[in-house]
A and B are shown apart, each in its own frame.
Chain A
Amino acid sequence: MRLRHAVASATVAALALPQAASAHGLVGRQDLPIPRWLFAWAAATVLVASFVGLATLWPKPRLQELQERVVARLPAILDVGCGVIGVAAFGLTIYAGLAGNQTGTANLAPTVIYVLFWVGIPFASALFGDVFRPFNPWRAIARGVSWLAGRMARQDSLPDALPYPARLGRWPAVIGILIFAWVELVYVDKTDPSQLAIMAIAYAAVQLVGMSLYGIETWESRGDAFAVYFNLFARLSPLDWRGRKLAVRRPLEGVVGLTPVAGTVALLSTMIGTTSFDGFSQGSTWSSIAPHLQSFFLDIGFNAEHALELAMTVGLLAMVLIVAGLYRLGVAGMHTVGEGHTTSELAGRFAHTLVPIALAYVIAHYFSLLVYNGQATAYLASDPLGDGSDLFGTGSATIDYSVISATGIWYVQVGALVLGHVCGLILAHDRAIAMYRSARDATRSQYWMLAVMVSFTSLGLWLLSAANQ
């Protein structure tokens, strides 16, 4: 009976998620000179060597003070223009989702949301800074409404924004990212264009309410899940767009100033954990666990589709908790070094070290999606509704899977994971020598962060390997 249920669930999954199966790029045959597990050993060796190098060659904090240099001033019209483009792109995506062909691959909305927005912007942010902010459509709408209200009403008649509750911190962003990840990885109708459009409208409405209650900038920096998410990656960039100024800084320097408000560690754990689950759910380990979970939910009365979603939800949450637990273990280890630092203080002050790891996981898991599925933009731009139109003459364009080989993708993935974790080590080391009174205690505290980094690297490579089998 259970077997029958499991088979039924698997069939539903296969039928319901055909696009999900290919959503993260094709995985071709890799031609690697050594077994994949040996890459994990090599990565661990690189991390240990980096740790030793940092302990001996980096005796003083170098990143704790921000040293930015303004290199350009930007015209005010640029801000307005970017906002208009952002609102127009948002409107087009919604329109395509609601009015277009309801086949996911033929409609612009799923590709824009899952590829260009969710994956493309983190890549762009890490390279060019917080590029999402000027294009943020709900921020642009809120600013436009605020400007209009200011012109139409007397300034003193407009209510002040409420003080943002400190205990909320980045928790609204945690919830937002978790919900989006659930939709992307678990929800069976994840590629349904009209449902995506409705969810996008609902998200925008929540943001507008948040901005009207707590102020545009405050809500954007704490509660707008995507703005917070992209901003974290942008902090790694050497470019900083501040108001109407463009400043340059050393790479990684921007993330050192991350304020560890409530929910920051949870947000980063969610970012890493959900990406990890994306890889894990494509591997054989999950394939052997999932049917048992599905059977459990079938047995307590759920139908096959919901049993599958619930099983995936359990896996998703478990992976977030595992990532958070690994980090807390490292922090608990650091706590044993002493000097009076509490675990919650250490967890907050070292939270920024997880940002490059989160980016590394995004690159490792979604690089192929961006490279391959991103090309679909060419024909979807010409035919956004999937009704056969050819607005720009690119309607017959196809995806070229030869732009990079499977082996090339593997090296990008491994390189990103190693580099991301080395960056995490650098940030942790720099923070430790700034925090601890003795260099010896600083180094001892970092034994634990090294263990965390090696664990995350091995986990990341294992997930990639499992997904590629």
Chain B
Amino acid sequence: MSVTMIIAHFGHWWTSLLYLLPVVVVVGWLSFQAWRDSRSGGDDGS
């Protein structure tokens, strides 16, 4: 029933995902950057 409700209301909440997208992009980019920094930090230290 919950799944049905979610699908039925897709038209209402899909635009909400557009507000989430910048967060996903920024967090993804920052995570990659943090991972790259930690690797280069490790290289510096070796």
Known: A284-B12, A440-B37, A447-B34. A454 touches B23 (CB 8 A): yes
A contact residues around B23 at 8 Å (CB): 44, 451, 454-455, 458
* Nearest Cβ on chain A to B19's Cβ, whole angstroms: 4
Q: How far is the CA of A43 from the CA of B21 in the complex (A)?
A: 12
B contact residues around A450 at 8 Å (CB): 26, 30
Known: A288-B12, A454-B26. A461 touches B19 (CB 8 A): yes
* Nearest Cβ on chain A to B42's Cβ, whole angstroms: 12
Known: A285-B13, A288-B9, A462-B16. A44 touches B30 (CB 8 A): no
Q: A37, A43, A459 — which one has the most chain B CB atoms within 10 A of its CB?
A: A37
Q: Are B30 and A451 in contact (CB under 8 A)?
A: yes
Question: When the two chains form the complex, which single residue of A448, A458, A466 contacts B22, counting CB atoms closer than 8 Å?
Answer: A458
**Interface: A323 (CB within 8 A):** no
**Interface: B3 (CB within 8 A):** no
* Nearest Cβ on chain A to B12's Cβ, whole angstroms: 5
Chain A positions 443-466 with a Cβ under 8 Å from a chain B Cβ: 444, 447-448, 450-451, 454-455, 458-459, 461-462, 465-466
Q: Are B33 and A447 in contact (CB under 8 A)?
A: yes
Known: A288-B9, A444-B37, A447-B34. A44 touches B26 (CB 8 A): yes
**Interface: A40 (CB within 8 A):** yes
Chain B positions 5-32 with a Cβ under 8 Å from a chain A Cβ: 5, 9, 12-13, 15-16, 18-23, 25-27, 30
Q: How far is the CA of A443 from the CA of B16 in the complex (A)?
A: 30
**Interface: A41 (CB within 8 A):** yes
Q: How far is the CA of A284 from the CA of B14 in the complex (A)?
A: 12
* Nearest Cβ on chain A to B23's Cβ, whole angstroms: 5
Q: Are B30 and A40 in contact (CB under 8 A)?
A: no
Q: How far is the CA of A43 from the CA of B23 in the complex (A)?
A: 11
Question: When the two chains form the complex, which single residue of A333, A440, A447, A462 contacts B19, counting CB atoms closer than 8 Å?
Answer: A462
B contact residues around A444 at 8 Å (CB): 34, 37
Q: Give 1 or 0 for each of A428-454: 1 = CB within 8 Å of chain B CB.
A: 000000000000100010011011001
B contact residues around A13 at 8 Å (CB): none
Q: B22, B23, B30, B34 — which one has the most chain A CB atoms within 10 A of its CB?
A: B22
Question: In the complex, what residue of chain A is closest to B27 when comparing beta carbons?
Answer: A451
Q: How far is the CA of A451 from the CA of B30 in the complex (A)?
A: 8
* Nearest Cβ on chain B to A438's Cβ, whole angstroms: 10
A contact residues around B9 at 8 Å (CB): 288
Q: How far is the CA of A336 from the CA of B37 in the complex (A)?
A: 12
* Nearest Cβ on chain A to B8's Cβ, whole angstroms: 10
A contact residues around B12 at 8 Å (CB): 284-285, 288
Q: How far is the CA of A159 from the CA of B18 in the complex (A)?
A: 61
Question: In the complex, what residue of chain A is closest to B2 when comparing beta carbons?
Answer: A292
* Nearest Cβ on chain B to A357's Cβ, whole angstroms: 15
Q: How far is the CA of A454 from the CA of B20 in the complex (A)?
A: 10
**Interface: A116 (CB within 8 A):** no
* Nearest Cβ on chain B to A447's Cβ, whole angstroms: 4
Q: How far is the CA of A459 from the CA of B23 in the complex (A)?
A: 9
Q: Are B37 and A458 in contact (CB under 8 A)?
A: no
Q: Are A447 and B22 in contact (CB under 8 A)?
A: no
Q: How far is the CA of A47 from the CA of B25 in the complex (A)?
A: 13
* Nearest Cβ on chain A to B26's Cβ, whole angstroms: 5
Q: How far is the CA of A341 from the CA of B20 in the complex (A)?
A: 30
Q: Are B16 and A447 in contact (CB under 8 A)?
A: no
Q: How far is the CA of A465 from the CA of B18 in the complex (A)?
A: 12
**Interface: A48 (CB within 8 A):** yes
Q: How far is the CA of A451 from the CA of B23 in the complex (A)?
A: 7
A contact residues around B34 at 8 Å (CB): 333, 336, 444, 447
B contact residues around A440 at 8 Å (CB): 37, 41
Question: In the complex, what residue of chain B is closest to A453 when comparing beta carbons?
Answer: B26
B contact residues around A284 at 8 Å (CB): 12-13
Chain A positions 202-238 with a Cβ under 8 Å from a chain B Cβ: none
Q: Are A40 and B19 in contact (CB under 8 A)?
A: yes
- Of all A-B residue pairs in the complex, the 10 with the closest CB atoms, nearest first, are A44-B22, A37-B18, A462-B19, A447-B30, A454-B26, A40-B19, A458-B19, A455-B23, A451-B27, A458-B23
Interface residues of B (CB under 8 A from A): 5, 9, 12-13, 15-16, 18-23, 25-27, 30, 33-34, 37, 41
A-B contact pairs, 22 of them (CB 8 A): A40-B22, A43-B22, A44-B26, A45-B22, A48-B26, A285-B13, A288-B9, A440-B41, A444-B34, A444-B37, A447-B34, A450-B26, A450-B30, A451-B23, A451-B27, A451-B30, A454-B23, A458-B19, A458-B23, A459-B19, A462-B20, A465-B19
